[in-house]
Amino acid sequence: MQRRYLVAGNWKMNGSYGANAALIASLKQRAGEYDAVEIVVCPPAVYLESVGRELADSPLLLGAQDLNEQATPGAFTGEILGAMLAEVGCRYVIVGHSERRALYGETDLRGAEKFAAAQAARLIPILCVGETLEERKNGSTESVLQRQLEAVIEACGIAAFANAVLAYEPVWAIGTGHTASPEQAQAVHAFLRSELAKRDAIIADSLRILYGGSVKADNAAQLFAGADVDGGLIGGAALKAADFLAICLAAQKSSRS
């Protein structure tokens, strides 16, 4: 199965009108060259509409970093409904990022509810899974990933993965500069795909699995070379146009090799 590479920039809590406009202008100048890659930017929610407007005449797509798990509007102060994200032009939404899990108490179940809410709003969820350093060291990487994945399969069904993206983000690699080796990443991606293939081989084969965690311009090509690595979820390096574009170029080259 030929899976289209996807590179998504997770800006996290960074940005301003000025910085966003400069970054998007630089990305737009080159984005058309990477026609084999789907490129997504995920700015903070307050900037989605303005960034979306700037992306309008480009192949770049808009994504959000989080959404509320409700399916309908209501009294949830400070929260954002999936339908609102769709209305301002989002196509993707990150779900279950480890920062949401660790800093805001997001459980596997809540992640599964958000995954369902995203799809109900016709958004494509980018579901993040990953183990902590302690879990890797004590040999529980696979059981942790199974648990995180299982919560979503149980709540939403395997068919829901036909319209989703999975991101393997080892917590110990996020923002630390310690990326997983290409072999470590490929091994986990193959494991995740095989877990899904036990339920549905066709869906597993077509699912894009991104790697995230200190992806940089100089390590992206090796990481993307893994047979089961279909692109990246990029944090820090997504804030600099040259770095993000170099990562997109690495994906473009991998997709041709």
Give the number of other CB atoms < 10 A from CB of residue 239: 17
Pairing of the two strands 61-64 and 37-42 = parallel
Known active-site residue 79: no
Residue (69 or 169) nearer to ligand PGA, CB: 169
24 binding ligand PGA? (CB under 6 A): no
Known active-site residue 189: no
Collapsing DSSP to helix, strand or coil, 20 comes out as: helix
Residue (82 or 212) nearer to ligand PGA, CB: 212
**Identified binder of ligand PGA from the candidate list 66, 131, 169, 243, rule CB under 6 A:** 169
**Identified binder of ligand PGA from the candidate list 175, 183, 202, 240, rule CB under 6 A:** 175
Assess contact for 70 and 76: CB atoms under 8 A: yes
Judged by CB under 6 A, the stretch of 32-40, 133-141, 195-203, 229-237 that binds ligand PGA is 229-237
**Identified binder of ligand PGA from the candidate list 213, 226, 228, 252, rule CB under 6 A:** 213
**Identified binder of ligand PGA from the candidate list 15, 130, 170, 236, rule CB under 6 A:** 236
Distance CA 107, CA 161 (A): 19
Judged by CB under 6 A, the stretch of 108-116, 142-150, 221-229, 233-241 that binds ligand PGA is 233-241
184 binding ligand PGA? (CB under 6 A): no
Question: Of 112, 109, 80, 83, whose CA–CA distance to 95 is shortest?
Answer: 112
User: Which residue pairs from 174-180 have beta carbons closer than 8 angstroms and sit at least 24 positions apart in sequence?
Assistant: 174/98, 174/99, 174/130, 174/212, 174/213, 174/214, 174/235, 175/214, 175/235, 175/236, 176/213, 176/214, 177/214, 178/214, 179/213, 179/214, 179/215, 179/216, 179/219, 179/223, 180/211, 180/213, 180/223
Torsions phi, psi for 62 (to 5 deg): -105, 140
Judged by CB under 6 A, the stretch of 65-73, 180-188, 189-197, 230-238 that binds ligand PGA is 230-238
**Identified binder of ligand PGA from the candidate list 235, 243, 244, 249, rule CB under 6 A:** 235
Residue (67 or 81) nearer to ligand PGA, CB: 67
**Identified binder of ligand PGA from the candidate list 129, 234, 245, 251, rule CB under 6 A:** 234
174 binding ligand PGA? (CB under 6 A): yes
Smallest separation, CB 48 to ligand PGA (Å): 17
Q: Cα–Cα distances in Å, from 86 out to 62, 125, 163, 229, 246? A: 10, 12, 15, 27, 29
Catalytic residue among 97, 106, 113, 131: 97
Tokens standing for 145? 């990933």
Judged by CB under 6 A, the stretch of 51-59, 64-72, 156-164, 210-218 that binds ligand PGA is 210-218
Residue type, 195: E
- Which positions touch ligand PGA (CB under 6 A)? 10, 169, 174-175, 212-215, 233-237
Catalytic positions, written as ranges: 97, 169
